[in-house]
Chains A and B, each alone.
Chain A
Amino acid sequence: MIEILKTGMYDSIQDFGRMGYQEFGVPMSGVMDRYSATLANSILGNPSHTAVLESTIVGPHLKFNHETAICISGADMNAKLNDLELRTNAVYRVKQGDVLKLGKCNYGCRGYLAVLGGFQTEEQIGSLSMYKGITANYRLVKGDVLPILKTNNYAGNSFSSIKIDKNHFEDYELEVFNGPEFDKLDDNQQQKLFNTAFSISKDSNRMAYQFNEPLENSLQPIITSLVLPGTIQLTPSGQLMVLMRDCQTTGGYPRVLQLTENAINRLSQRVFGSKITFKCKK
């Protein structure tokens, strides 16, 4: 068991989400940054889709009620195990009673805590990913006790750590495909989409990211159609809305761009105020 002593800004349990239920209107959900969650799990020897704890900007404080091994990937949240400063992307053994404190991000936006064998919280519709109306809770709160596998069966080397690609956290170019309604934009709007440095608005969350810079919009709404995480919609007021992992399954705004999988992962690691540009995927 792991107990939440203090919550971060937004903590939830996530795996790779729910596939195959979108015909019932069920969002896919899942970790925002699959690259980092996969890294944390792989280093521990877990399958890449194993459930992890995702935290945002400021991480939680946790207490371990039995021994296990952990790995933290994604944003560097100045993790401390008791008094020991932890590196990201390295395995640490944890004893009963140890306290892990995750703080404010040094870089990145989302941190991933993987435990040996994975979290064992409530499964609904084939996934542990928390979502309002599907799981009992949609985010972690103080006092929550999270079941984990009782194992300390980690055979790897606890001292190695992996160098990660800094571009994943710093590069401001995001690769996109043209969306189904891209061709309906005029030349000027199309150019603006690719020439503007957009800054991330504070109204950004697991459902959608928004930007502070509007784009002039003369497009009519479309007949409600299908969307995916990574779909960029243009609202009547000219707001660009980048749908993220918790997005709805359908939408009625024109879909002007579609982020690549890698771009969704990277955008998930950008904090409010940081700038990004779009680049067409060849």
Chain B
Amino acid sequence: MNFELIYRRFSERSILVEWPQEIDEYILKDVLLFKNSLLDLDDKLILQINTAYNSLLIIYQSTIDNVNDEILTLKSHYINRKVVKKPITTLFKIPVCYDEEFGLDLIAISEEKKMPIPEIIKRHSQPVYTVFFIGFLPGFLYLGGLGEQLHFPRKKSPRLQIKKGAVAIGGSQTGIYPNESPGGWNVIGNSPVELFLPKKKEPCFAKAGDKIQFVPVSKTVYDSIVLQIKQDKYSIESEVIDD
């Protein structure tokens, strides 16, 4: 199925392509299919391609001389899009400690929703979440798939400092803070894993299209993972899935 796409110049060197304004896995798959088919062309004039929920930004090496010509070329690439090598989809199992020490807002959510804390933890760690894209901070995963029962509005005034690794809920979204940062989401736990390692060739283990599951762990297990990470002996449990 072909979506009705909107193409427009974004800057001197970039063109923005937009899908219908919805958050939807079919749209994500089509965005990534178009991206990967363009990358397969190995066009030296394309510097990089960025994606978000329903948009794709193609950045060229230099100023685009004739935008309309370039858009026509892109349109024909879209119609003929296919990938030679399908990217591997990986499911990552991310340990999270939901102890009160970390879950600063668990009690507030529990009271407001009249839902016991173990029930919140169960509902948060059950779904398989989809990574839609990475943005906001280096290594911050935009995840889709939070159950409606756990939707919870952002805080009216953001915290000045949210701990690195904080697992939080903001509106209909959930995510992990890859680094210490100010933020308005409700913190329910903490993950010891590193989401962003600038020294690595692939600084973030996940990419758009991958899957995430949260695995509740005790403080003791949390501490032992912290130690293993320090000794460089830890790797995130993962499996390749047929998506």
Contact = CB atoms under 8 A, between A and B. Distances in A.
- If over half of A's interface residues share one DSSP class (helix, strand or loop), that class is named, otherwise mixed; here it is loop
B47 A124 contact: no
A23 interface: yes
Contacts of B56: 226
Query: In which size bucket is the chain B interface?
Result: 35 or more
Interface stretch (B73-81, B91-99, B119-127, B202-210): B202-210
Given A124-B198, A258-B11, A250 B52 contact: yes
A261 to B, nearest CB: 6
A133 B14 CA distance: 27
A21 interface: yes
Interface residues of A, number: 29
- If over half of B's interface residues share one DSSP class (helix, strand or loop), that class is named, otherwise mixed; here it is loop
Interface stretch (B106-114, B132-140, B219-227, B230-238): B132-140
A249 B204 contact: no
A140 to B, nearest CB: 19
A23 B134 CA distance: 6
A250 B11 contact: no
B199 interface: yes
A177 interface: yes
A124 B14 CA distance: 25
B1 to A, nearest CB: 20
A14 B74 CA distance: 34
Interface stretch (B15-23, B82-90, B145-153, B185-193): B15-23
Nearest to B173: A224
A244 B72 CA distance: 30
Contact of B55 (A24, A177, A226, A228): A226
Given A25-B138, A223-B23, A224-B142, A261 B47 contact: no
Contacts of B204: 24-25
A133 B11 CA distance: 28
B47 A177 contact: no
A133 B136 contact: no
B9 interface: yes
A207 interface: no
A20 interface: yes
A262 B140 CA distance: 31
Nearest to A133: B179
Given A180-B16, A225-B55, A25 B199 contact: no
Contacts of B14: 228
15 contacts: A19-B47, A25-B137, A25-B140, A25-B204, A26-B203, A27-B138, A133-B179, A222-B21, A226-B56, A226-B57, A228-B11, A228-B14, A228-B57, A228-B59, A260-B11
